[in-house]
Structures are given as structure tokens and as C-alpha cells.
Amino acid sequence: MVSWVDGQPDERLAISDRALAYGDGLFETMRVERGRPCLFERHMARLRDGCGRLRIPLDDALLRSEVLAYCAQFERGVAKLIVTRGDGLRGYAPPTPSIARRILQSAPLPAYPAVHGEAGVELFPCRTRLAEQPLLAGLKHLNRLEQVLARGEWQDAAFAEGLMCDTSGRVIEGVFSNLFLVLDGRLLTPSLQRCGVAGVMRAEIIERAAAAGMLVEQRDISVEELQRAEEIFLCNSLYGIWPVRRLRQRIWPVGGVTRKLQALLFEHPGNS
């Protein structure tokens, strides 16, 4: 489907845009079902937070109506929203005022095998580490060379995702997923204070788990703890939850907590 740039059908962008020059912007990748973006409020909240932290001014009402109108055009698929700081002067200094640019693109839902959600996936252990930058941690910004390098490490389709640690060796996330684990009966997910992307599905799972009486603890996780975990699963806003069944020599059965959270998501898949 045709893309929109600042609300108009377009497939091209001014090369003066700061997203091209510096990756100066943010994005959201939304699952669309029956013409509606799933987890829409969470996507908008994360984007608002990111724009606040990067000081990109955003017309929230305009953006919301634009995203909803764009998604209403198709039954099912992926809508990707990019918000940039807009056209720039030469040099890093953010123009004042900046006029944010909005880009909407669509794609079919990725053809992930159903077995990923049922039997689980094998994780590729990426050598690429995530640098620790608290000022950008959690944001879904456009500076994604670390993910490009990490995803370039494997071609073997036997690995559905890759595991990324930070430069200090802590477990952080997948290349395009967040990660949870059950350790000594407790549900944990890595802290994203130093690096990593705070996914909307991660937030949704934390909330649904809490509502079901399972408190998720966000803290630093070591590789040793991951290896000792009773269960591991991945999540993102497109596929929901994938159990992890293998990392290196360690093999996990799909656990009860993972199955329970999959069921909780399935009950109201498009909510919030």
C-alpha cells in the first residue's frame, strides 16, 4: 500500500531530513488487525515519551488521527510510523523550532512459522554487544546499527532470533524482541536503564501478568542466570510471545508461565 509522508501519499522524502543525516527520530512498528493498530495507546505513549526525551515537538492529536486513518485502509498487516525532527540546518544543532515529519509505511505481517509460538525458537548468541547509553536507553530511535550488525551475524533459519547482551555482559534483549525469564519461580525481565528498547508488548505483558497476580521484576540479568532459568520467552508487538527452546547446548521445554501468558494475550489480543 502507498506510504504517507506528512499525511500525503508519497514514497519519497526530502534528503534534507535529519533522519537521513543523523538517525534523528523515532519509530513504532504496529500490528494492524481489522483496520486498527493493536496496542495503539501504548505505541503512542512510547512515542510521546521518546519525543519528549529527544525534544522533538509532536502534534499528538494530528498524529493519532493520521495513524488511525492510515491503518483503516487495510484489514491486516504491519504499519510502521517514523517521526523525524524534520528538515535540518547543516550541523548537529537541532533547529528551533523543529517541525517534526511523519512517515507511515505498510507491509504484510511477517510469515513467521506457527511452530515458533507453539514449540518455541532457538536463540542465536550474538557477539555484537549493546553499548550502554542511559540517555537513549528504552527509546525506539532510528540509530539501529547495533541491531543491523547483530542480525547480520547469522543466516541460518534455524535461529528465529538472536540474544543480545550489553558491553558489560548483562542479558538485555533479542535483536527485535524483548525477553522474559522464570528463575527460581519468579518472573523477570532485564532492566533497560542502560540500553535496549522498551517494547510495547513487554509493557503489555508486565501489566497483564500483574493483573493475573504475577509481579514482573525488572533487574540486571547475567548469562549464568539465563542459563539457569526454568523458562525463557521472547515477545514483540507483531508476533506476541515465542517460547525459547534452545540456546547453545541448553534446551528448555515450554513452561507453564509462558503458556499462561500466551493465553492471557490471546484472550484480548488487540486491547489497549
Active site residues: 29, 140, 173
Q: Does 10 sit near its own copies (CB under 8 A)? A: yes
**Minimum distance, C-beta of residue 203 to its own copies, in the bound complex (Å):** 21
Q: Compute the distance between CA of residue 190 and CA of residue 168 in angstroms, rounded to an integer.
A: 13
Binding its own copies (rule: CB under 8 A), the pick from 149, 198, 223, 265 is 149
The CB-of-135 to its own copies minimum distance in angstroms stands at 6
Which residues in 166-195 contact its own copies (CB under 8 A)?
Answer: 167, 175-176, 195
What's 22's DSSP letter? H
Binding-site member from 48, 80, 246, 250 for its own copies (CB under 8 A): 80
Least distance to its own copies, CB of residue 270, Å: 21
If the CB atoms of residues 165 and 187 are measured against its own copies, the closer one turns out to be 165
First to last CA, the chain: 25
**Which of 8, 61, 91, 224: binder of its own copies (CB under 8 A)?**
91
The answer to whether 131 touches 10, Cβ cutoff 8 Å, is no
Residues 32-71 that bind its own copies (CB under 8 A): 54-55
Give the count of beta carbons closer than 10 Å to the beta carbon of residue 54: 18
Residue labelled with grid coordinates 548483562: 170
Q: Which of 162, 105, 103 is nearest to 130 (CA)?
A: 162
From 133-141, 211-219, 223-231, 247-255, span contacting its own copies (CB under 8 A): 133-141
Give the three-state DSSP class for 204: helix
72 versus 148: smaller Cβ distance to its own copies = 148
Q: Are 30 and 66 in contact (CB under 8 A)?
A: no
Distance between CA 64 and CA 77 in Å, rounded? 18
The nearer residue to its own copies, 133 or 222, going by C-beta atoms, is: 133
Q: How far is the CB of 21 from its own copies (least distance, A)?
A: 7
Q: What is the C-alpha separation between 57 and 100, in angstroms, rounded? A: 6
Q: Is 144 in the site for its own copies (CB under 8 A)?
A: yes
Provide the minimum distance between the beta carbon of 227 and its own copies in the complex, in angstroms, as a whole number.
25
Beta carbon of residue 228, minimum distance to its own copies (angstroms, whole number): 28
User: What string of H, E and C letters represents the secondary structure of 251-262?
Assistant: ECCCCHHHHHHH
27 near its own copies, judged by CB under 8 A: yes
Surface-to-core class of residue 198, CB atoms within 10 Å of its CB (0-12 exposed, 13-18 middle, 19+ buried): middle
- Helices within 120-255 (DSSP H only): 145-151, 200-211, 223-228
State which residue, 90 or 114, has the beta carbon closest to its own copies.
90
Q: How far apart are CA 98 and CA 142, in angstroms?
A: 17
Residue numbers of the site for its own copies (CB under 8 A)?
A: 3, 5, 10-24, 27, 54-55, 78, 80, 82, 85, 90-94, 103, 105, 107, 110, 128-129, 131-133, 135-136, 141-152, 167, 175-176, 195
